[in-house]
């Protein structure tokens, strides 16, 4: 090989390396080249069980959910939820809902979807069931409140109303408006 051939071969190699560098620098980063954020924002749980405590730190209630996730604003959202008071609280109510949301201050639990509150020892000692689509629940004060339509069944009697305040510890319900019912002796 003569000097002219070696020079041409070197020039061709230099051109190939330059074109490879140029295409690599102009290419957008692919999925495998993107920088990864190793810091996790929030958390999620499957088959979650969360304990709520009273002011003394003793267990007050328990939230069970199929799924729980901390949202970017630090609220916690639950899916397919069941809330029960601890046996020491002597509040025989269980609340079920499609979703629940607990804010950062953890004072109220906002239940939505098919919300059902049930007590076998409800009002007047009869099985009681409250149904609504939205309910704000304050476990510390044993109160549940809504401005939505509610259906209340106490034994064989039933009522519907718009809005309600339930005092779960005292087994009392205050209906707000549009009350109608069906009573059989």
- Specify the pLDDT at position 38: 44
> Where in the chain are the domains?
55-182
- Nearest by Cα to 121 from 93, 156, 89, 86: 93
Mean model confidence pLDDT for the chain: 83
Q: How many CA atoms lie within 13 A of 5 on its CB side?
A: 2
CATH dotted code for 55-182? 2.60.450.10
- Specify the pLDDT at position 54: 85
19 phi and psi angles, rounded to 5 deg: -70, -35
- Residues 51-74: pLDDT tens digits? 888 888 889 999 999 999 999 988
- Residues 88-143: pLDDT tens digits? 888 888 999 999 999 877 779 999 999 999 987 766 677 889 999 999 999 999 99
């Amino acid at each position: 090989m003569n000097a002219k051939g070696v020079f041409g071969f070197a020039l061709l190699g230099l051109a190939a390396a330059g074109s490879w560098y140029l295409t690599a620098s102009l290419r957008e980063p692919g999925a495998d080249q993107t920088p990864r954020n190793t810091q996790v924002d929030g958390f999620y749980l499957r088959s979650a069980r969360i304990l709520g405590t009273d002011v003394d730190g003793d267990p007050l209630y328990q939230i069970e959910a199929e799924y729980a996730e901390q949202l970017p604003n630090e609220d916690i959202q639950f899916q397919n939820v069941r809330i029960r008071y601890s046996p020491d609280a002597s509040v025989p109510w269980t609340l079920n809902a499609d979703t629940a949301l607990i804010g950062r201050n953890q004072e109220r639990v906002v239940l939505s979807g098919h919300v059902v509150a049930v007590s076998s020892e409800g009002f007047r000692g009869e099985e009681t069931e409250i149904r609504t689509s939205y309910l704000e629940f304050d476990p510390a004060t044993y109160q549940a409140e809504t401005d939505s339509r509610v259906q209340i069944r106490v034994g064989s009697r039933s009522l519907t109303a718009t809005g309600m305040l339930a005092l779960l510890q005292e087994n009392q319900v205050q209906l707000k408006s549009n009350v109608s019912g069906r009573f059989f002796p």
